[in-house]
Amino acid sequence: MGKTALALAVASCLASYAGGASRAPVRAQHGMVASTSEIASQVGVDILKRGGNAVDAAVAVAFALVVTYPSAGNLGGGGFMLIHRSATGEEITIDYRERAPGRAHRDMYVDGEGRVAPEKSTVGHLAVAVPGTPAGLAMALEKYGTLKLEEALQPAIELAEKGFPVSTFLSDSLKRNESRLGRFPESRRIFLRGGKPYEPGELLVQKELAETLKKIARGGPKAFYEGKIARLIVNEMKSHGGWIALEDLKDYRPVLRPPVRGTYRGYEVVSMGPPSSGGIVLLQMLNQVEPFPLKELGPHSSKTLHLLAEAMRRAFADRARYLGDADYVKVPVKGLISKPYARKMRETFNGEYASSSLEVGPGDPFPYESEETTHFSVVDKDGNAVANTYTLNDSYGSGVTVRGAGFLLNNEMDDFTSAPGVPNMYGLIQGEANSIQGGKRPLSAMTPTFLKKDGKVLLIVGSPGGPTIINTVFQIILNVVNHGMSIQEAVDAPRIHHQWLPDVLQVEPRSLVKDVELALRSRGHQIRERGFMGDAQGIWIDWATGIRYGGSDPRQDGRPIGY
């Protein structure tokens, strides 16, 4: 893109009118939080207004989401936080991904005949990996925040103790997940009110959770990993065949890691490295499509979608082969994200016809689909920025609530390769690099990302959605950089998803006009509708005026709030 086109693209990102978007981006002069819960966004903005920095706000938002968004906001899961410090210009990531319990091993979900036992890695106690969230959030605050842990926890404690009005969205979500939550008496009691699910407007009070949050406020992460909460988790495990032991909790450590970096059309791209595949796969796709004139081809044309699908197919094939926890396996990060490697991949594109993914009989993941993770983005008055994505994996994780502690546990063990070649919950075929081992972190797709220019963060973005996360972030970046959309329009725009196998181009309901669909089919793409993809939360900052523009995904219930 030439200089003028780039300037135009950037200028239209600043739009404060709705245009074709679901609404105008939310504007603010000082700080902004975009999350999937309006209550949680408000918690963050209140902290920014009182002089807290972006990390303070992010930690408070993460704790508030535990209360207001129990399907993915969590204490019993894990995630990744990407931080930009405006004073030094540096970026850091905190990896607080869950770890496999020490007893875990490669074939733990496979029966004598080599078949993966149904549900063992997705529902119930054996699906649970050692949670990372309390330690990760405490580390973020201690190293980069200004608040004390009890101050960051206070809003969440109040929300849990006094309750908050259940939204239509949450009421529907709890009812939709009745079969999972209803299998576990403690989850049924708390989240389904013993069989009388919450209606919109009713108060959800979570007394046990409030007590747990208070224990963490008083005792720090130690209360969770070594104190009473640890004992409650282990009791829960022992009485139901789970494998997490006291030593697993005691040994858990979040890790500071450098982010992965690349460039795209004059912007610096900063994102999450292993054990997430997000940043690497994102950069591989951006590198592959960089020279194509996507703006001229149009954002939703068959030609553009064909090129995106080809880039996705190739990057996801590499994901399956090479990616895993880099503390356990060698991941060739430099090569994967290099421009010459992308050129080689691009040379294998057929400009007209779909390539064929390997001849592997695909499973049918669609009936099991549910992709709950949550992302939020924060910027403060000084330009410090946080992109945080964290998760229980599935909606409401394993379905298990820790008796006496009031929080749900993840089913992150399903993100490992249960058996090479056998699709996981997301239909992803995975390889040896991501096989199960005690202490290892399962491969993730979470992609908290910044776009930077001249040392400043311009875009903060991320999304839930299992493997679709990476493609959601990819398409939002193209929408902003190539197509000049405002942050809200970029987040609204229809999404596609290809993950190599199954060899299917997945599209959102009613998102393709018929002649584009026919043109893609005639290029050889198999097209299948899936549900709506992702719940992106983005912030764009115009450094000429200092205005922050927030965009929350209309696919769910979120809202950016600024001041």
The residues binding ligand GLY (CB under 6 A) are: 373, 391, 393, 415, 444-446, 466
Active site members:
373
Closest CB 502 distance from ligand GLY, rounded Å: 18
Backbone conformation region of residue 265, classed left if phi is above 0, alpha if psi is from -120 to 50, else beta: left
Sheet holding 496-497, edge to edge: 496-497, 505-507, 527-529
Report the alpha-carbon distance of residue 34 to residue 537 in Å, rounded: 5
Residues 380, 57: contact at Cβ < 8 Å? yes
The residue (of 39 and 66) whose beta carbon lies closer to ligand GLY is: 66
Residue with tokens 């004139």: 293
Report the alpha-carbon distance of residue 136 to residue 511 in Å, rounded: 38
Whether the upstream peptide bond of residue 502 has omega within 30° of 0, thus cis, is yes
Closest CB 480 distance from ligand GLY, rounded Å: 23
Residue with tokens 């978007």: 21
Residues 181, 174: contact at Cβ < 8 Å? yes
> For residues 90-108, b (16+ Cβ closer than 10 Å) or e, as one string?
ebbbbbbbbbbbbebeeeb
How many contiguous H segments (helices) and E segments (strands) does the chain have?
20, 19
Give the H or E element holding residue 35.
strand 32-35
Sign for the pseudo-dihedral over CA of 26, 28, 34, 39? negative
Q: What are residue 146's DSSP bridge partners?
A: none
Closest CB 410 distance from ligand GLY, rounded Å: 8
For residue 206, give the 3-state DSSP assignment.
Answer: coil
DSSP label at 275? Answer: T
For every residue of 282-297, DSSP letters joined together read HHHHHHHHTTS-HHHH
Pick the closest to residue 270 from 498, 37, 456, 536 (CA basis): 456
Sign for the pseudo-dihedral over CA of 67, 69, 72, 73? negative
Closest CB 548 distance from ligand GLY, rounded Å: 28
Closest CB 415 distance from ligand GLY, rounded Å: 5
Closest CB 346 distance from ligand GLY, rounded Å: 26
- In this chain, which residue has its C-beta nearest to ligand GLY? 444
Report the alpha-carbon distance of residue 509 to residue 341 in Å, rounded: 34
Q: What are residue 262's DSSP bridge partners?
A: 269
* Token pair in block for residue 452: 């930077």
The residue (of 58 and 469) whose beta carbon lies closer to ligand GLY is: 469
Closest CB 79 distance from ligand GLY, rounded Å: 8
The residue (of 167 and 395) whose beta carbon lies closer to ligand GLY is: 395
Closest CB 362 distance from ligand GLY, rounded Å: 19
Closest CB 369 distance from ligand GLY, rounded Å: 13
The residue (of 53 and 434) whose beta carbon lies closer to ligand GLY is: 434
* 335-to-165, 283, 332, 349, 443 alpha-carbon distances in Å: 50, 11, 6, 19, 19
Report the alpha-carbon distance of residue 522 to residue 474 in Å, rounded: 25
Residues 40, 70: contact at Cβ < 8 Å? no
